[in-house]
């Protein structure tokens, strides 16, 4: 009788665990889905910025590391970064982060940030050219002038994200 109760107990516990395990969604590694938007509704630069903002806080995972306004410590605060960096620099920073490394000047001796800026157009983040344009326009909007036109955003093949029609000379990136 005692043995039977033990067996019953084990069976109940095991089925409870397998039930819980089945409820956990499985991680399937699929290529990242492109950000959805309605092309009809992309009329102005701020429409592009808005899509970029969604990517910044979503698919781009930027907000996992970066703050806008408060100094978090592990990664640069991006408040007013658009004032300092132009389009080419932003493009390079996010696609070849090893080329320019921003130092943490809040330290007694400027130091590297403890985290590392990922290459955002390669997996796992894997933003496509259009998403890159949108996220760059959002970064520009942080204290700077947005230079990405809705027409470029809608036909990204024609204008790679780093090309800059009517761009000024690249400005020296501080802390590079």
Among 54, 76, 130, 146, binds ligand HEC (CB under 6 A): 76
113: contact with ligand HEC by CB under 6 A: yes
- We find the least distance from the C-beta atom of residue 61 to ligand HEC, in angstroms, to be 5
Cα 154 to Cα 27, 67, 103, 109, 158, distances in angstroms? 32, 28, 35, 44, 9
Burial (CB count <10 Å: 0-12, 13-18, 19+), residue 134: buried
Q: Report d(CA 28, CA 77) in Å as an integer.
A: 33
Among 48, 49, 120, 161, binds ligand HEC (CB under 6 A): 120
- We find the least distance from the C-beta atom of residue 9 to ligand HEC, in angstroms, to be 46
64: contact with ligand HEC by CB under 6 A: yes
Nearest to 53 by CA among 162, 124, 122, 134: 134
Closer by beta carbon to ligand HEC, 45 or else 137: 137
Quick one: which segment of 5-13, 22-30, 53-61, 152-160 binds ligand HEC (CB under 6 A)?
53-61
Q: Are 144 and 62 in contact (CB under 8 A)?
A: no
- We find the least distance from the C-beta atom of residue 70 to ligand HEC, in angstroms, to be 14
Q: Are 93 and 100 in contact (CB under 8 A)?
A: yes
Among 53, 93, 141, 147, binds ligand HEC (CB under 6 A): 93
């Amino acid at each position: 009788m005692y043995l039977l109760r033990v067996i019953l107990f084990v069976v109940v516990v095991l089925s409870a665990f397998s039930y819980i395990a089945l409820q956990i969604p499985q991680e399937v590694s699929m290529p990242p889905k492109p950000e959805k938007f309605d092309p009809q509704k992309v009329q102005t630069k701020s429409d592009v910025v808005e899509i970029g903002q969604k990517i910044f806080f979503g698919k781009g995972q930027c907000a996992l590391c970066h703050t806008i306004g408060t100094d978090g410590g592990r990664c640069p605060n991006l408040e007013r970064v658009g004032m300092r960096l132009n389009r080419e620099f932003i493009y390079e920073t996010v696609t070849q982060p090893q080329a320019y490394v921003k130092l943490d000047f809040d330290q007694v001796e400027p130091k590297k940030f403890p985290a590392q800026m990922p290459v955002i157009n390669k997996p796992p983040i894997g933003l496509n050219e259009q998403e890159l344009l949108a996220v760059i326009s959002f970064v520009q909007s942080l204290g700077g002038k947005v230079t990405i036109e809705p027409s470029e955003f809608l036909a990204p093949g024609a204008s790679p994200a780093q090309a800059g029609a009517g761009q000024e000379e690249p400005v020296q990136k501080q802390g590079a």
